[in-house]
Each structure stands twice: as structure tokens, then as C-alpha cells.
């Protein structure tokens, strides 16, 4: 069996002071990931190779009377593909009204695209947040 995963992320950020007490910031992260199983092969535990789920095999193994044939796992590699993209984007501004008091406003976008959904269904989503803060430093 060969299992391979990889993920690549690119990050960028920037900050700029519009005025000595007013700044803007932004950052972006982009990720691409993938993984899959190949060459997965199990031999049948039974001579005929035709065991069914919940087959009564108490004559062969009295400790585990109901087994399934591991050879049924051989098709799993067809469903193992993982491929996704994600974007995290933030933009914010902060204004300092005095040495200890400031206000901030931030926008955040989370985007996730599941390119090959299978096990849990489509996990793709988009979330947007708008947050305001009042800060006091002492």
C-alpha cells in the first residue's frame, strides 16, 4: 500500500499606516492539499474468496464467530482521494483615539472547497465575519 499526502500553503500580509494613529492590515493564506491510497491489496482469508459480511465462521474461529473478509477492503483506494483548496483572507483597520483607547474593525473570509467529496459528503463552505473591537490598554 502506498499512501501519499501533500499540502502547499502560500501566505502574504501587509500593514500600512494611513496616519500615525490609523492603520490598515491585510493577510491572505491559500492552501492546496491532496492525498490518496494506491496499491491496496489484501488476500482473501477464505479459500473460496466468497465470504460475506457477518458470515458465521465459528467453526474456523470460535473466539470471533462473525467475521468479514478483508479482501472487501481492496476497493477502498477508489474512495481515498482527498483534494481541497482553502482561502483565509483578513482585512482590518485600527484607529487609536489616545494612548490607551482604540477601535478596530475586521473582516474575515474563510473559504473551503472539497474537490472530491466522499466519506462525509461535501464539506465545502464559505464563512464571512465582520467584527468590531473597542480596546483599552493599560
| Confidence (pTM) | 0.68
Q: How many Cα atoms within 13 Å fall on the side-chain side of residue 112?
A: 9
Q: Do residues 34 and 51 both lie within one domain?
A: no
Q: Do residues 75 and 85 both lie within one domain?
A: no
Q: Do residues 90 and 33 both lie within one domain?
A: yes
Task: Return the pLDDT at 36.
Answer: 83
Q: Do residues 68 and 90 both lie within one domain?
A: no
Q: Do residues 29 and 54 both lie within one domain?
A: no
Provide the number of structural domains found in the chain. Answer: 2
Q: Specify the 3-state DSSP secondary structure of 77.
A: helix
Task: Return the pLDDT at 29.
Answer: 98
- Give the C-alpha separation, 114 to 107, whole Å: 23
Q: Do residues 32 and 88 both lie within one domain?
A: yes
Q: Do residues 9 and 67 both lie within one domain?
A: no
pLDDT at 47 over 70: no
Q: Do residues 58 and 121 both lie within one domain?
A: no
Q: Which of 62, 79, 96 is the last residue of a domain?
A: 79
The residue range of the domain holding 72 is: 45-79
Q: Do residues 34 and 87 both lie within one domain?
A: yes
For cell 488476500, name the residue. 43
Q: Do residues 122 and 70 both lie within one domain?
A: no
**Model confidence band, residue 10 (pLDDT cutoffs 50, 70, 90):** very high
Q: Do residues 70 and 88 both lie within one domain?
A: no
* DSSP letter for each residue of 22-75: EEEEEEEEEEEEEEEEES-----SSTTS---TTEE-TTT-TTS-EE--GGGGGG
Amino acid at each position: 500500500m502506498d499512501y501519499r499526502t501533500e499540502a502547499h500553503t502560500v501566505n502574504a500580509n501587509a500593514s500600512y499606516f494611513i496616519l500615525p494613529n490609523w492603520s490598515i492590515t491585510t493577510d491572505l493564506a491559500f492552501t492546496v492539499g491532496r492525498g490518496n491510497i494506491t496499491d491496496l491489496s489484501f488476500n482473501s482469508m477464505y479459500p473460496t474468496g466468497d465470504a460475506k459480511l457477518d458470515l458465521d465462521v465459528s467453526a474456523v474461529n470460535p473466539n470471533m464467530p462473525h467475521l468479514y473478509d478483508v479482501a472487501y477492503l481492496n476497493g477502498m483506494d477508489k474512495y481515498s482521494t482527498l483534494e481541497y483548496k482553502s482561502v483565509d483572507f483578513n482585512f482590518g483597520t485600527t484607529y487609536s483615539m489616545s494612548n490607551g483607547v482604540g477601535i478596530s474593525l475586521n473582516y474575515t473570509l474563510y473559504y473551503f472547497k472539497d474537490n472530491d467529496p466522499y466519506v462525509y459528503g461535501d464539506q465545502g463552505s464559505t464563512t464571512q465575519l465582520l467584527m468590531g473591537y473597542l480596546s483599552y490598554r493599560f
